[in-house]
Amino acid sequence: DARVTQTPRHKVTEMGQEVTMRCQPILGHNTVFWYRQTMMQGLELLAYFRNRAPLDDSGMPKDRFSAEMPDATLATLKIQPSEPRDSAVYFCASGLVPVHGYTFGSGTRLTVV
Amino acid sequence: TQLLEQSPQFLSIQEGENLTVYCNSSSVFSSLQWYRQEPGEGPVLLVTVVTGGEVKKLKRLTFQFGDARKDSSLHITAAQPGDTGLYLCAGASGNTPLVFGKGTRLSVIA
């Protein structure tokens, strides 16, 4: 089965440090999404790309978050500087649009202390 | 802003019981999807419903899309511990990203 691969699975870092999360989407999927999941807010869309072009990043704090897709096999989400309120599980998902369902990775659990 | 409200938020039942969870919105969606998420993993797509009034069955799970395409329900017959997880509904409109509800957290006790 094709899968979305995310690394690292877990990350503990100190406030102020840079964090980079990586995602390998499913080959052939034209859209890649970054979501953040917390108990309070559920799944929040941070940014997404179609055919590697950024379409919308209005869901993320632009002063500290950045999302890129340098090639079709890699998407990155960077936080600099990280803050304790960024602690959450970050998911990457990919899909073929128009929507036929998203395939999610297993997530990166980020803890900022 | 399109919102999906899921109810109940939490549900704890005994093995063998039946249950229904709901997903409601004031917005019309072109399709609606249900996902199940297990601890430590990402959501996994269960089903997509497209037509108003559509009913789809997946073994003991029955999914229904409301006639007006604003709401959906998931019914589980004879729940088993393996059904435990977070059930998420997500609405689609054109090419815009899915809108997710906050989910129903189901616990089935043996």
Residue B56: in which H helix or E strand, if any?
strand B55-58
Nearest to A101 among B48, B88, B102 (CB): B48
The pLDDT of B83-101, averaged and rounded, is 92
Residue numbers in B near A48 (CB within 8 A) = 97
Q: Check CB contact under 8 Å for A102 and B45.
A: yes
A97 touches B: beta carbon within 8 Å: yes
A96 touches B: beta carbon within 8 Å: no
For chains A and B, count residue pairs whose Cβ atoms are closer than 8 Å.
45
Q: What is the DSSP string of chain A?
A: ----EEE-SEEEE-TT--EEEEEEPPTT--EEEEEEEETTTEEEEEEEEETTEEEE-TTS-TTTEEEEEEETTEEEEEESS--GGG-EEEEEEEE-TTTS-EEE---EEEEE-
What was the pLDDT predicted at B59? 96
As a residue count, chain B comes to 110
Number of other CB atoms surrounding residue A68 within 10 Å:
14
Interface test with B, best of A3, A24, A43, A48 (most B CBs within 10 A): A43
What was the pLDDT predicted at A1? 73
Q: What distance in Å separates residue A43's CA from the closest CA in chain B? A: 7
The pLDDT of B11-21, averaged and rounded, is 98
B38 touches A: beta carbon within 8 Å: no
What was the pLDDT predicted at A58? 87
Interface test with A, best of B23, B32, B45 (most A CBs within 10 A): B45
B98 touches A: beta carbon within 8 Å: yes
What was the pLDDT predicted at A95? 92
The pLDDT of B12-39, averaged and rounded, is 96
What was the pLDDT predicted at B2? 67
Q: What distance in Å separates residue A97's CA from the closest CA in chain B? A: 6
A48 touches B: beta carbon within 8 Å: yes
Number of other CB atoms surrounding residue A40 within 10 Å:
6
Q: Give the pLDDT of chain A (113 residues) as one tens digit per residue.
A: 789 999 999 999 999 999 999 999 999 999 999 999 999 999 999 999 999 999 988 889 889 999 999 999 999 999 999 999 999 999 999 998 765 789 999 999 999 99
The pLDDT of B55-83, averaged and rounded, is 97
